[in-house]
Structure 1
Amino acid sequence: MTTHQIAGQSVTMPVQVRDASAGTVLFEVDATAAAALLPTDAFEIVETTPGRAHLALVLVDYRDNDLGAYHEVGLTFFVRPRSGGEDGTFITRLPVDQPFTCEAGLKIWGFPKTIEQIDVENTDTSSTWTLRMDGQLALAVRVPRGGTDPTPPSPMTTYSLLDGVPHSTVFTQGGEGSQVVIGGEGVQVTLGQHPVGRELASLGLPDAPVVLSSWIERMKATFENARPLTS
């Protein structure tokens, strides 16, 4: 059992998420533009068709979590290690709105967390997230909310740079109250002038095709320790 000391508190692995809601919007984007946003050449973008790739915009409201209660916005690409290994995800931006999870994410996994302003407005059928960074609008996105389907727990791999070294982290996620909406119905994206907004514009947002959106109202998850990749 591994324990990390974060801001004077002990975090025992694996980190447990007992209750959260999560929305995801999956966009089809230019693969070369996506590769330009990766901070390392240790990974390559997974192309869905020649020259095309997927960007996942992930919105999570953590209500009961070993790292506290907070909001999180993730910009995520699908990658594979150039040294060999399975396909996984790589998060290029991960704004959060609480300091403890920011420090934990950086120190435990090398996730690129920063502390930002994240405002969330929910209705019965939608969830609207507004991200402001350095006093500027970076992104506003509305996603469909709702669903009654179960989501069985599924293991996945995400990659990161921890102290500049490529690492992999296995996490498992599932829950209740889920839906998947094919296409862009109910999705609305507005970009601001912050550099993160311009990064998304370089990928073709807000007009990039939406492959699907998903919502899970009662999510549970576990996050294991990060492990260095072997060459």
Structure 2
Amino acid sequence: MQAHAIQGERVTLPVRIRDAAVGSAMFAVPAGAAQAVIGYSGLEVAEPLPGRAVCSLAFVRYADGDLGPYHEFAVAFLVRPPGEPPSPGIRGRLRGVGAFIHWLPVNQEFTLEAGRTIWGFPKEIADIPMDLTGRVQRCAVRFGGRTAIEVAVKPGVPMPSGAGAPSVDAYSCLDGVTRRTPWTLTPSEVRTRPGGAKVVLGDHPVAEELRGLGLDRARALTTSTVGHLQMVFEGAEEVRA
């Protein structure tokens, strides 16, 4: 059993999240601009349609898990498996895609160290207030009182039990090393809808990147909320992109 020492505590793999809640929105963005954002990773964005990539914004409240309770915000892009050319058609272009985690602020030091040490996730400390109780779910990311980004999503219609991706490869790149982490999700109380997201960008460097992708004026492809989410994170392995 693989284990890591984090701030004097032993964290064993796989890491399990027993309860979390999520709000998210997915956007179609120019593939060239998205590729420029993640070029440092050596990975290539997936293009469900020629010239278009997918960027996801997600905020997560972790209530019960091996890394303790905390808030998290993620900017991610769908990417192709390293070294595999795209296949014809939309399904072919999406076969085997993973999620490249470009930015991952959190509000607790323990998960910061664990995420960077175990998986190479690009975590940094921020103030991340969120409200998941209202008719519109809201989250903000702030540094020293200055807002980097605000996201609001409107929950949609209930989805059948078991809806959602059961597993995906999560990719990260930290200190020049690109890694892949097998990631299993078990969602319940899922709601989704077309559109339904509002994004307000501040003056953080990542906000400038997202503004360059047009996210401050784009309509979301879909928005989703998950009332209860369980997750399992396996160990990371280095990949040659």
TM-score, normalising length from structure 1?
0.92
230 and 137 in structure 1: CA distance in 2 versus 1, 3 angstrom threshold: closer
26 and 148 in structure 1: CA distance in 2 versus 1, 3 angstrom threshold: closer
- 3-state SS of paired residue (1:196): helix
1:212 to 191, 205, 222: 222
Match of 1:37 in 2: 37
Q: CA deviation at 1:179?
A: 1.0
Q: Answer whether contact 1:79 1:90 (CA < 8 A) is retained.
A: yes
Amino acid at match of 1:12: T
Amino acid at match of 1:46: A
Match of 1:126 in 2: 136
Distance 2:53 2:73 in 1: 20
Q: Does residue 1:151 correspond to 2:162, yes or no?
A: yes
Where does 1:1-231 land on structure 2 (aligned, <5 Å)?
1-84=1-84, 86-145=96-155, 147=158, 149-151=160-162, 154-161=166-173, 164-182=176-194, 184-185=195-196, 187-229=197-239
Q: Answer whether contact 2:155 2:192 (CA < 8 A) is retained.
A: no
Distance 1:200 1:72 in 2: 18
Match of 2:90 in 1: none
The count of aligned residue pairs is 229
170 and 214 in structure 1: CA distance in 2 versus 1, 3 angstrom threshold: same
106 and 39 in structure 1: CA distance in 2 versus 1, 3 angstrom threshold: farther
- 3-state SS of paired residue (1:22): strand
Amino acid at match of 2:203: Q
Match of 2:89 in 1: none
84 and 50 in structure 1: CA distance in 2 versus 1, 3 angstrom threshold: closer
- 3-state SS of paired residue (1:125): coil
Q: CA deviation at 1:162?
A: 5.1
- Higher share of residues assigned strand: 1
Bigger Cα displacement from structure 2, 208-217 vs 131-140: 131-140
Q: Which runs of 5+ in 1 are unaligned?
A: none
Bigger Cα displacement from structure 2, 117-126 vs 90-99: 117-126
Amino acid at match of 1:200: L
Amino acid at match of 1:170: P
- 3-state SS of paired residue (1:67): coil
Q: Answer whether contact 1:61 1:71 (CA < 8 A) is retained.
A: yes
Q: Percent identity?
A: 39
TM-score, normalising length from structure 2?
0.88
41 and 95 in structure 1: CA distance in 2 versus 1, 3 angstrom threshold: closer
Q: Which runs of 5+ in 2 are unaligned?
A: 86-95
Q: Answer whether contact 1:140 1:189 (CA < 8 A) is retained.
A: yes
Amino acid at match of 1:91: I
Pairwise CA RMSD: 1.9
Q: Answer whether contact 1:42 1:81 (CA < 8 A) is retained.
A: no
Amino acid at match of 1:198: E
Distance 2:172 2:191 in 1: 28
Amino acid at match of 2:178: P
Following superposition, which runs of at least 4 residues in structure 1 exceed 6 angstroms of deviation? Answer: none
Distance 1:21 1:145 in 2: 13
